[in-house]
């Protein structure tokens, strides 16, 4: 699951008809039995297990081996697991909704412009324009002519600055990232946030590592950029020259960027400045002119996440020739919009970012690619239709009951902690009690009435959608935070803890089997969604979340003694996971994954405590399929982590993912729990049981 929302609202965002009326807010309609029965498989299917494996030797294979043998990674993906299965189910449901919307009489130009388009029409028109592959190929890059003309017209650095601002206004984060976000030390207010960025590859390390595999991938990246320029009509020599200059520019930015481990440090990435201070840091970058391009009035305060990056970026800005900047900006444009361009661009983009980088063997079907584009643009429009069809009210009520039970369990555990002193316990309990809980879908839906969607060029819809989102995001700067706002679409198979909001959020997308099954026994549900809930709660108290108080402010509320005790225990988590070697010579980065590992271990313990408390109050459950409630709890936990993964994707994620691989997210936490050992009667000194003096016990 995602941790505190460091991305806030990742800038893809456009104004349209400002006078259109928004639709009335409505609760989701009742969900029919046919939809539910098709989406509720058996809670625990014994055939998904591998009984030939002993639970004390490898519980991950014992619980999931049968499923793993029957579920190879599809050729279009780089991994396949429970998250992907459910995402696929949700996508099929959304596809049906979108196709019906596209076929409805009200879509397209059927109303002849006499009435404001409905949400359903916009979803249908967006989907239809994305699915019209023939029209997209015939149009080529003609819909981008205006954008290319703006880049071609650049004459000096002031023009470069304006064009970077323009591209950012249509959701293309050239050079750096600029968006709104809560002020970490004044969480009631929204502030401008500037942070490192501007790279084409996903992480700085791809540009800086000197091992042979990294060098080879960089060479492939240069070739890829050259091929994309060639698709724009450049001659091979010119395309190659531009590609090398683009990658050289990006490499300069990468070398100035912080590592992913460094980016986890909230305190070091909080650097609030007045506009004059930021201008002094980057003397050749006119911030007043930049924010004006983004249709903002003067911005008084900025959080500059990585000052050293911006100092270096200023040097890059003045040191790189204007013509090289023009090449870089053309690249940023086609790279960011590749998914909505003709097939040649899509295929070349997949050849590098799919095949070369993750090992995926073939392109996803077009309908899946179009749906992926909806998330950052019309995510809540689609989500509103999804929850009306597929999310019953009783699921929300039961999930809330589980959240409250886990909150009580965590409170009991905090009170019983031997390593934490009383003053810190009281602050921790205050923070826990203040947790805001959001389940299923927003109480207030986004208003998309000003967003223009039609059945014209797909890339034009994407650009308008990106601009709409950017404008919506940036207009919040300098205003009080809206605590009712959601940072994730309800159809997402995910959950998150937002430290500055002190909230935990569980979208409707994840509140389905195998994570949550209304027809399952409590043991399986507590092992599944219960551990997810506990995970997100624990993020409020992991190595980064613990630095935020009950109001969501970055504040030191721990006593020195409590900090020291926590640090000693968190070091043990780092050491445990750093000892795991998923691939020969490649260990898990214990520092990078520290927060997620603390949350996995804590979440599992909290969920188990909540289940045991409930069983003691309601009475014990009978065995099902020969398994006790305790055993079913741990099997339920293991099954939500089942996954097959391509080696290339695993290598990539070991370098840049803050989560450990799924196998180790299973065996790592379980091996620390005495309750797990007891439930399956495992012997001491077996692979699934850590020695008592090495077991991690924080929360």
Q: What percent of the chain has pLDDT over 70?
A: 93
pLDDT of residue 107: 54
Residue 621 domain-assigned?
A: no
pLDDT of residue 110: 45
What average pLDDT score do residues 481-496 get? Answer: 96
Q: Among candidates 200, 361, 176, 182, which has minimal Cα distance to 278?
A: 176
Strand partners, 304: 194
Q: In this predicted model, what pLDDT tens digit does every residue of 616-641 receive, in sequence order?
A: 888 877 899 999 999 999 999 999 99
Residue 258 domain-assigned?
A: yes
pLDDT of residue 275: 96
pLDDT of residue 559: 98
Residue 178 domain-assigned?
A: yes
- Does residue 666 have a pLDDT over 70? yes
pLDDT of residue 39: 53
pLDDT of residue 394: 86
What average pLDDT score do residues 573-597 get? Answer: 97
Q: In this predicted model, what pLDDT tens digit does every residue of 325-357 receive, in sequence order?
A: 999 999 999 999 999 999 999 999 999 999 999
Contact status, residue 266 vs residue 184, Cβ threshold 8 Å: yes
What average pLDDT score do residues 241-263 get? Answer: 98
Classify residue 418 by its DSSP letter: S
- Does residue 383 have a pLDDT over 90? yes
What average pLDDT score do residues 142-169 get? Answer: 98
SS3 content of the chain, % helix, strand, coil (to 5): 55, 10, 40
Residue 331 domain-assigned?
A: yes
Tokens found for residue 115: 């009435």
- Does residue 50 have a pLDDT over 60? yes
Its domain, for residue 315, covers: 145-340
Q: In this predicted model, what pLDDT tens digit does every residue of 294-312 receive, in sequence order?
A: 999 889 999 999 999 999 9
Residue 31 domain-assigned?
A: no
Residue 238 domain-assigned?
A: yes
Q: What percent of the chain has pLDDT over 90?
A: 89
The radius of gyration of the chain's CA atoms, rounded to the nearest angstrom, is 25
pLDDT of residue 115: 73
Confidence of residue 8 (pLDDT cuts 50, 70, 90): very low
pLDDT of residue 392: 87
Query: How many Å apart are CA 568 and CA 557, to the nearest integer?
Result: 18
Query: How many Å apart are CA 119 and CA 143, to the nearest integer?
Result: 25
What average pLDDT score do residues 582-594 get? Answer: 96
pLDDT of residue 393: 86
Say how many C-beta atoms besides its own lie within 10 A of residue 177's C-beta. Answer: 18
Cα–chain center distance at 519: 29
What average pLDDT score do residues 180-188 get? Answer: 98
Q: In this predicted model, what pLDDT tens digit does every residue of 392-424 receive, in sequence order?
A: 888 899 999 999 999 999 999 999 999 999 999
pLDDT of residue 108: 55
- Does residue 606 have a pLDDT over 50? yes
The total number of structural domains that make up the chain? 1
Query: Is there a catalytic annotation at residue 536?
Result: yes
Q: What CATH number does the domain containing 274 carry? A: 1.10.1380.10
Residue 177 domain-assigned?
A: yes
Query: How many Å apart are CA 504 and CA 533, to the nearest integer?
Result: 8
Query: How many Å apart are CA 123 and CA 130, to the nearest integer?
Result: 11
What average pLDDT score do residues 680-698 get? Answer: 95
Confidence of residue 106 (pLDDT cuts 50, 70, 90): low
Question: What is the per-residue burial (b if ≥16 Cβ within 10 Å, else e) of 462-482?
Answer: bbbbbbbbbbbbbebbbeebe
Contact status, residue 510 vs residue 495, Cβ threshold 8 Å: yes
**Active-site residue, selected from the candidate residues 119, 163, 183, 600:** 600
What average pLDDT score do residues 644-657 get? Answer: 95
Query: Is there a catalytic annotation at residue 617?
Result: no
Strand partners, 80: 644
Residue 320 domain-assigned?
A: yes
Confidence of residue 114 (pLDDT cuts 50, 70, 90): low
178 — phi, psi (to 5°)? -140, 120
Task: Quote the mean pLDDT of the chain.
Answer: 92
pLDDT of residue 25: 32
pLDDT of residue 519: 84
Helices (H), 540-673: 560-578, 594-618, 629-639, 647-656, 662-670
**Active-site residue, selected from the candidate residues 58, 147, 250, 536:** 536
Neighbouring residues of 55: CB distance < 8 A, sequence distance ≥ 6: 62, 63, 680, 682, 688
What average pLDDT score do residues 95-122 get? Answer: 78
According to the 3-state scheme, what is the secondary structure of 480-491? ECCCCCCCCCCC
Classify residue 49 by its DSSP letter: S
Question: Residues 167, 170, 173, 178: is their CA dihedral positive or negative?
Answer: positive
């Amino acid at each position: 699951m995602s941790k505190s929302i460091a991305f806030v609202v990742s800038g893809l965002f456009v104004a349209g008809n400002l006078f259109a009326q928004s639709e009335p807010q409505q609760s989701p309609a009742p969900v029919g039995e046919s939809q539910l029965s098709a989406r509720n498989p058996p809670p625990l299917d014994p055939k998904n297990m591998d009984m030939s494996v002993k639970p004390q030797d490898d519980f991950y294979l014992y619980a999931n081996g049968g499923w793993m043998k029957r579920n190879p990674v599809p050729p279009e993906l780089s991994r396949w697991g429970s998250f992907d299965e459910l995402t696929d189910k949700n996508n099929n449901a959304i596809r049906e909704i979108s196709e019906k919307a596209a076929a409805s009489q009200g879509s397209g130009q059927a109303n002849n412009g006499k009435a404001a388009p409905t949400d359903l029409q916009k979803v249908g028109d967006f989907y239809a324009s994305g699915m019209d592959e023939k029209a997209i190929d015939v149009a080529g890059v003609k819909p981008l002519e205006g954008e290319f003309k703006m880049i071609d017209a650049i004459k000096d650095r002031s023009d470069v600055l304006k064009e970077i601002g323009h591209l950012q206004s249509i959701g293309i984060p050239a050079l750096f990232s600029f968006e709104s976000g809560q002020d970490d030390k004044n969480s009631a207010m929204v502030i401008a946030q500037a942070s490192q960025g501007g790279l084409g590859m996903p992480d700085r390390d791809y540009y800086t590592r000197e091992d042979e595999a990294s060098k080879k991938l960089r060479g492939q990246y240069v070739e890829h950029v050259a091929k994309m320029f060639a698709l724009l009509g450049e001659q091979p020599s010119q395309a190659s020259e531009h590609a090398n200059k683009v990658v050289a520019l990006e490499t300069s930015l990468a070398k100035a960027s912080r590592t992913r481990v460094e980016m986890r440090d909230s305190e070091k990435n909080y650097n609030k400045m007045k506009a004059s201070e930021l201008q002094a840091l980057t003397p050749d970058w006119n911030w007043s002119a930049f924010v004006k391009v983004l249709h903002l009035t003067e911005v008084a305060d900025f959080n500059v996440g990585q000052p050293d990056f911006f100092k270096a970026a200023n040097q890059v800005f003045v040191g790189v020739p204007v013509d090289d900047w023009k090449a870089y900006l053309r690249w940023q444009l086609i790279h960011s919009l590749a998914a909505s361009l003709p097939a040649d661009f899509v295929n070349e983009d997949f050849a590098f970012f799919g095949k070369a980088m993750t090992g995926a063997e073939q392109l996803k079907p077009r309908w899946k690619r179009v749906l992926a584009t909806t998330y950052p643009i019309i995510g809540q429009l689609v989500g509103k239709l999804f929850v009306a069809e597929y999310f019953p009210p009783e699921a929300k009520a039961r999930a809330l009951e589980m959240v409250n039970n886990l909150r009580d369990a965590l409170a009991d555990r905090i009170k019983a902690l031997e390593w934490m002193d009383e003053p810190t316990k009281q602050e921790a309990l205050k923070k826990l009690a203040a947790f805001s809980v959001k389940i299923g879908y927003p109480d207030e839906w986004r208003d998309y009435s000003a967003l223009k969607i039609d059945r014209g060029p797909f890339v034009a819809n994407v650009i308008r959608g990106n601009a709409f989102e950017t404008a919506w995001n940036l207009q919040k700067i300098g205003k009080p935070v809206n605590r009712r706002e959601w940072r994730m679409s309800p159809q997402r198979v995910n959950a998150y803890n937002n430290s500055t909001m002190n909230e935990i959020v569980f979208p409707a997308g994840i509140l389905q089997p195998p994570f949550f099954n209304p027809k399952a026994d409590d043991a399986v549900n507590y092992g599944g969604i219960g551990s997810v809930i506990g995970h997100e709660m624990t993020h409020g108290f992991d190595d980064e979340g613990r630095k935020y108080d009950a109001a969501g402010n970055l504040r030191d509320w721990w006593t020195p003694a409590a900090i020291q005790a926590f640090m000693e225990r968190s070091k043990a988590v780092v050491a445990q996971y750093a000892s795991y070697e998923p691939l020969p010579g490649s260990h898990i980065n214990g520092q990078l994954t520290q927060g997620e590992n603390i949350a996995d271990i804590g979440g599992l313990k909290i969920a188990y405590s909540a289940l045991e408390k409930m069983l003691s109050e309601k009475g014990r459950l009978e065995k099902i399929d020969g398994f006790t409630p305790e055993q079913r709890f741990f099997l339920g936990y293991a099954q939500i982590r089942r996954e097959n993964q391509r080696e290339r994707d695993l290598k990539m994620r070991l370098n840049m993912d803050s989560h450990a691989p799924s196998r180790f997210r299973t065996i790592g936490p379980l091996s620390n729990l005495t309750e797990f050992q007891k439930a399956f009667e495992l012997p001491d000194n077996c692979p699934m049981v850590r020695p008592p003096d090495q077991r991690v016990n924080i929360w």
